[in-house]
Amino acid sequence: MKGCNLFQGKWVFDPSYPFYLPSKCPFVDPEFDCHGRPDKQYLKYAWKPDACSLPRFNGASFLGKWRGKKIMFVGDSLSLNMWESLVCMIHASVPNSKTTYVRRDPLSFVYFE
Protein backbone atom coordinates (compact mmCIF):
# COMPACT_ATOMS: atom_id res chain seq x y z
CA MET A 1 0.00 0.00 0.00
CA LYS A 2 3.07 2.19 -0.06
CA GLY A 3 2.57 5.12 -2.39
CA CYS A 4 -1.20 4.78 -2.31
CA ASN A 5 -3.17 7.87 -1.38
CA LEU A 6 -6.01 6.41 0.67
CA PHE A 7 -7.76 9.78 0.73
CA GLN A 8 -8.29 10.06 -3.02
CA GLY A 9 -11.00 7.80 -4.30
CA LYS A 10 -14.72 7.28 -4.34
CA TRP A 11 -17.53 5.32 -2.76
CA VAL A 12 -18.48 2.34 -4.93
CA PHE A 13 -21.46 0.02 -4.74
CA ASP A 14 -20.51 -3.47 -3.54
CA PRO A 15 -23.36 -5.99 -3.27
CA SER A 16 -21.30 -8.17 -0.89
CA TYR A 17 -21.60 -5.51 1.81
CA PRO A 18 -22.42 -5.05 4.64
CA PHE A 19 -20.21 -7.34 6.70
CA TYR A 20 -22.99 -7.61 9.27
CA LEU A 21 -26.51 -6.40 9.89
CA PRO A 22 -26.72 -4.21 13.00
CA SER A 23 -30.04 -5.77 13.98
CA LYS A 24 -28.36 -9.21 14.08
CA CYS A 25 -25.29 -8.16 16.08
CA PRO A 26 -25.59 -8.58 19.85
CA PHE A 27 -23.06 -5.80 20.50
CA VAL A 28 -24.88 -2.90 18.81
CA ASP A 29 -26.72 -0.51 21.08
CA PRO A 30 -30.17 0.26 19.63
CA GLU A 31 -29.36 3.97 19.35
CA PHE A 32 -26.56 3.12 16.90
CA ASP A 33 -28.83 1.09 14.61
CA CYS A 34 -29.80 4.15 12.53
CA HIS A 35 -33.10 4.29 14.42
CA GLY A 36 -34.79 1.73 12.18
CA ARG A 37 -33.86 3.45 8.94
CA PRO A 38 -35.88 1.51 6.32
CA ASP A 39 -33.50 1.86 3.37
CA LYS A 40 -30.37 -0.29 3.67
CA GLN A 41 -28.71 0.47 0.32
CA TYR A 42 -26.31 2.92 1.95
CA LEU A 43 -24.73 -0.08 3.73
CA LYS A 44 -23.62 -1.54 0.38
CA TYR A 45 -20.98 1.07 -0.39
CA ALA A 46 -17.25 0.72 0.16
CA TRP A 47 -14.41 3.22 -0.12
CA LYS A 48 -12.19 2.54 -3.15
CA PRO A 49 -8.93 4.51 -3.42
CA ASP A 50 -8.10 5.56 -6.98
CA ALA A 51 -4.63 4.02 -7.18
CA CYS A 52 -4.87 0.80 -5.17
CA SER A 53 -7.15 -1.80 -3.66
CA LEU A 54 -7.84 -2.12 0.04
CA PRO A 55 -7.74 -5.65 1.41
CA ARG A 56 -11.11 -6.99 2.49
CA PHE A 57 -11.59 -7.37 6.24
CA ASN A 58 -11.11 -10.93 7.48
CA GLY A 59 -12.24 -11.38 11.07
CA ALA A 60 -10.58 -14.78 11.58
CA SER A 61 -7.25 -13.43 10.32
CA PHE A 62 -7.66 -10.34 12.50
CA LEU A 63 -8.21 -12.51 15.59
CA GLY A 64 -5.14 -14.58 14.72
CA LYS A 65 -2.92 -11.52 14.41
CA TRP A 66 -4.24 -9.97 17.63
CA ARG A 67 -4.38 -13.17 19.71
CA GLY A 68 -3.43 -12.47 23.32
CA LYS A 69 -3.45 -8.70 22.81
CA LYS A 70 -5.90 -6.01 23.81
CA ILE A 71 -7.34 -3.15 21.80
CA MET A 72 -8.83 -0.13 23.53
CA PHE A 73 -11.04 2.51 21.95
CA VAL A 74 -10.94 5.84 23.77
CA GLY A 75 -13.26 8.70 22.94
CA ASP A 76 -16.87 9.66 22.58
CA SER A 77 -19.90 8.02 20.99
CA LEU A 78 -18.12 7.90 17.62
CA SER A 79 -15.40 5.73 19.17
CA LEU A 80 -18.10 3.54 20.71
CA ASN A 81 -19.70 3.18 17.28
CA MET A 82 -16.35 2.13 15.77
CA TRP A 83 -15.80 -0.37 18.58
CA GLU A 84 -19.24 -1.87 18.06
CA SER A 85 -18.64 -2.08 14.32
CA LEU A 86 -15.31 -3.88 14.77
CA VAL A 87 -16.69 -6.47 17.19
CA CYS A 88 -19.72 -7.00 14.93
CA MET A 89 -17.48 -7.59 11.90
CA ILE A 90 -15.42 -10.09 13.90
CA HIS A 91 -18.56 -11.77 15.26
CA ALA A 92 -19.98 -12.13 11.73
CA SER A 93 -16.68 -13.66 10.53
CA VAL A 94 -16.59 -16.29 13.30
CA PRO A 95 -20.26 -16.69 14.29
CA ASN A 96 -19.74 -19.98 16.14
CA SER A 97 -16.87 -18.79 18.32
CA LYS A 98 -17.39 -18.52 22.06
CA THR A 99 -17.68 -14.89 23.12
CA THR A 100 -17.71 -13.27 26.51
CA TYR A 101 -19.28 -9.83 26.65
CA VAL A 102 -18.84 -7.79 29.83
CA ARG A 103 -20.63 -4.42 30.01
CA ARG A 104 -19.36 -2.15 32.74
CA ASP A 105 -19.42 1.59 32.88
CA PRO A 106 -17.12 3.12 31.72
CA LEU A 107 -15.43 0.06 30.10
CA SER A 108 -16.90 -2.86 28.18
CA PHE A 109 -15.02 -5.96 27.07
CA VAL A 110 -15.52 -8.61 24.42
CA TYR A 111 -13.42 -11.77 24.38
CA PHE A 112 -13.45 -14.12 21.39
CA GLU A 113 -12.25 -17.67 22.04
| pLDDT tens sequence across 13-40 | 999 999 998 888 888 887 767 666 778 8
Phi (first) and psi of residue 82, to 5 degrees = -65, -40
Of how many residues is the chain composed?
113
- Please state, in angstroms and rounded to a whole number, the distance separating the CA atoms of residues 17 and 25: 15
pTM over 0.85: no
Mean pLDDT of 7-17: 95
| pLDDT exceeds cutoff 90 at 43 | no
pLDDT tens-digit map of 47-95: 999 999 999 999 999 999 999 999 999 998 889 889 999 999 999 999 8
Q: What is the pLDDT of residue 28?
A: 85
pLDDT recorded at residue 66: 94
Strands (E), the chain: 9-13, 45-49, 99-103, 108-112
